[in-house]
Structure 1
Amino acid sequence: MKLYASPTSPFARKCRVLIREKNGTSHVSEENIVAMQDPPALHEANPLGKVPALVLANGDTLFDSPLICEYLDSTLEGETMIPLAHPERWPVLRFQALADGIMDAAVAITMERGRKDSEQSEIWLGRWHRAIDRSLQILDDEVTKLDGPVDLSHIAVGSALGYLDFRHAALEWQKSYREIAGWWADMSKRPSFADTAPPAS
């Protein structure tokens, strides 16, 4: 299998961390790609032109990080990252949805800040920032639910927080949300996260 990814994409990082937690690097090759350049190879794997995109051994393709993570978890050997049965399954998927929402808002801010100052929407920037703050507050309040063996909830939340550190360090979110900041300080040291850290700016 081949995973099209970008070292700066938090959604791709989620998949890349899961692969490493499943000891699946020998089964999934990774090809770095710049989605903003609209490369044809990416379009063939994902008509939406986004990373991550997974090309299966038979040539079929999967896209959207939740789907890719579900597929990899079901096909790679190793510890299960997404529980198959309720009630254990839903809290994991809930944390993933919350983390993906943080990533959506943070990426949107990154893209908006790349526009000319006169073209930026302070209304949308404010909404995205508030969405991140509300989500971080939930993570801070529920940090004890992230105790225990690593699963997709840990992977998704860590990928989201890592992206905030990477692209939005000026937010200094750790000062306001100390519980989840402490959790991330420990989680970020895991080999799977250390190996997939975005490049230093």
Structure 2
Amino acid sequence: MKLLISHASPYARKCRVTALEKGIQGIEELHVSPLDEPEKLNHLNPLGKIPCLIYGENKTLFDSPVICAYFDEIGEGPRLMPKDGNAHWAMRRHEALFDGLLDSALNIVIDLRKPEEQHSEQWQQRWGCAIDRALSQAQNELDKIEGDLSTAQIALACAIGYLHFRLGKHDWLAPYPYLNEWYEAFAQRPSMQATQPK
């Protein structure tokens, strides 16, 4: 298997953490810049996005929720996503919430990379409010998120890690001490340490 990534991509990090936690060996990581090297990616993922997994006879999977679900299916140990029932949909809901948090953070980062006169304070505020609401919900539902390792936990930890990495001038977790305590502990997992962005 080959996994197209960049070290800084939080979406790729979700996949890398999941693969490590599921004990999947032999994944070749190929570093690709979607903007600078589209010829390496666009024929595999028409959306031109990473992560992208190549497996089997040149089959591909994208994006991170699908790749993580595949790793959960083929890897070892307990499932990270319940197979069905209320627990499955509750986990899907949390995963969507934390992926949406990550999307909002990425939108802010992209906006800040534009020339200053093109920045949108209105959209940055909107995305920032979405991040705060998602973090608040995560703290309020921490009792449902804690426990056995799960897809939701990995998505949440990678999203918070990205906030620290790209938007660390703002202390996003200051209003959420219990969530911060959870993240500090989760971030010590070997899979998180091995995939820290560069």
Q: Shorter-chain TM-score: which interval? A: over 0.9
Partner amino acid for 1:6?
S
Q: What SS class does the counterpart of residue 78 from structure 1 fall into?
A: coil
Question: What is residue 15 of structure 1 aligned with on the other side?
Answer: 15
1: CA distance between counterparts of 2:117 and 2:40? Answer: 35
Q: What corresponds to 1:184 in structure 2?
A: 183
Q: Take 2:179 and 2:10, find their aligned partners in 1: how far apart are those partners?
A: 18
Inter-partner Cα distance in structure 2 for 1:160 and 1:109:
13
| Partners of 1:43 and 1:16 in 2: CA distance | 21
Q: Deviations over 1:139-177 (max 9, x none)?
A: 111112122110101111001000001001112012111
User: C-alpha root-mean-square deviation of aligned residues, in Å?
Assistant: 1.1
Residue 36 of structure 1 and its aligned partner are, at CA, apart by 2.1
TM-score when scaled to structure 2? 0.96
Would you say 1:144 and 2:143 are equivalent positions? yes
Tell whether the 8 Å contact from 1:38 to 1:49 is kept in structure 2 after alignment.
no
Unaligned stretches of 5+ in structure 2?
none
3-state secondary structure, aligned to 1:37:
coil
| Paired letter, 2:61 | L
Question: Following TM superposition, by how much is the alpha carbon of 1:95 offset from its aligned partner in structure 2, in angstroms?
Answer: 1.2
SS in 2 for 1:44: coil
Calculate percent identity across the aligned residue pairs: 38
Q: How many residues align?
A: 198
Q: Distance in 1 between matches of 2:144 and 2:185?
A: 15
TM-score of the superposed pair, with normalisation by structure 1: 0.95
List gaps (5 residues or longer) in structure 1.
none
**What is aligned with 2:58?**
59
Deviation per residue, 1:41-71 (Å, 9 max, x gap) = 2112211111100011210111111111111
Aligned pair 1:5/2:5, yes or no? yes
Q: Aligned partners of 1:42, 1:158: CA distance in 2, in Å?
A: 27
Task: State the SS of the aligned residue for 2:4.
Answer: strand
Determine the structure 2 residue equivalent to 1:38.
37
Q: Tell me if 1:135 matches 2:134.
A: yes
In 2, distance between residues paired with 1:71 and 1:77? 12
Mean CA deviation greater in 79-88 or 102-111: 79-88
Q: 1:183 Cα deviation (Å)? A: 0.3
What is the aligned partner in structure 1 of residue 194 from structure 2? 195
